Copies of this chain bind each other. A is one copy, B any other.
Amino acid sequence: MPFQEDFAVERFMDEYEETVEFNAAESCCHSLSLNQLFELTGEKFEFDYSKRFTYGSIQGTPALRSLIAQMYSNSDVKLTKENVLITNGAIAANFLVHYALVGPGDHVICLAPTYQQLSSVPRMFGAEVDLLHLKATDAFLPNLNELVAMIKHNTKLIVLNSPNNPLGSVVPTQLLRQIAAVAEEKGIVVLCDEVYSPLFHSCQQPKSFAQISTLGAVTGSMSKAYSAAGIRIGWIVSQNAQLLKQAASRRDYNTISVSMVDDAITRYILSHRDAILKRNLALCNENLSIMRTFIANSNRKFSFVHEPQGGSVCLIYINGVQDTDSFARTLAEKYKVLFSPGECFGVPGTLRVGLGNSTHELTEGLRLLRAAYDEYIDI
């Protein structure tokens, strides 16, 4: 049996999600229904009642793959459907890149903190994984010199995540280029998990790594920026034809094809992405402003680990509390409010806050956090 630890944040959320009153832990932008999408976009989604439920287009419909290719193209880099493979969410996209690339004898460098999957899956596949720790002195960005020093003869994959979960830090274009240059010189694939893109609420939008690297790959999905986690569509975008071919070959063993209905809903949503992103960036900005005020008025009880630049989550210190796992459980059980403990990301003493939640849930969540803190640290 291949060893793999429990997925801390999933287990924590699963344990409490249905019993709390306010969820301030959700990492997605507040989810939308088809009715709400109609209101927002002005176009109604039309189900095709005459389409037979065959396996359909194995790699995802050409129309969907072309649409996603266009999203990752710019004036210099024109991507096509050949650069896109559709998956069951970004979770499956990330899994598939590792499944295709790493095994025993391989070395992987993964930044930390980040989504636990990104370091745990390559370990499960038998690779040796080293963590590149993000530090305040580097504005929580990968330190290029450290990265170069960590590379070994058998380094197969470097795993980035931008916007970062849970910090909200964003790797600027210039640094992405430097990392790509280092990796390509040594023939190392860089996987950049861009599932929180294009939520850039407090910085200029950097280029996608898919535009920068001819060797690397990018993953994304409908869950975070597009408010549709229940639509299980994700993707791998890459200029590396060999990598996509390997991923497609492994995908035959765990996917075959994705939901035909979800493929169609995704085309509808992404065709109207401007309206949805506008709504979600406004939501993140409003909530971030509430967070800033909350922290400023907290008498140093709470502080940002890092002021988020992008994405729909941020990490805050709960000053004076070391065991935030226990604190988060108290919040969930006694105060009926959900925040993810920093222990899920290897950063005890912190909580992850969702910036894409409904403003009401965030406001109530913060009120209860403050009340619990005042009671908790008096105990």
Contacts and interface: CB of A to CB of B under 8 A. Distances in A.
A33 B38 CA distance: 24
Nearest to A256: B91
A50 B36 CA distance: 8
Interface of A (DSSP majority class)? loop
A121 to B, nearest CB: 6
Interface in A1-45: 1-4, 6-7, 10-11, 14, 28, 31-36, 38
Given A47-B47, A252-B11, A259-B261, A53 B231 contact: yes
Given A259-B259, A261-B261, A91 B254 contact: yes
B260 A92 contact: no
A125 B257 contact: no
A88 B254 CA distance: 9
Given A253-B7, A254-B92, A259-B261, A53 B229 contact: yes
A1 B106 contact: yes
Interface string A251-273: 01111111111100100000000
Interface stretch (A96-104, A169-177, A203-211): A96-104
Interface in A160-174: none
Contacts of A60: none
A103 B53 contact: no
Contacts of A125: 2
Contacts of A230: 51-56, 257, 259-261
Interface residues of A, number: 70
A365 to B, nearest CB: 17
Interface string A278-308: 0000000000000000000000000000000
A33 to B, nearest CB: 5
Given A52-B32, A229-B54, A262-B262, A1 B102 contact: yes
A28 B256 CA distance: 14
A74 interface: no
B91 A1 contact: no
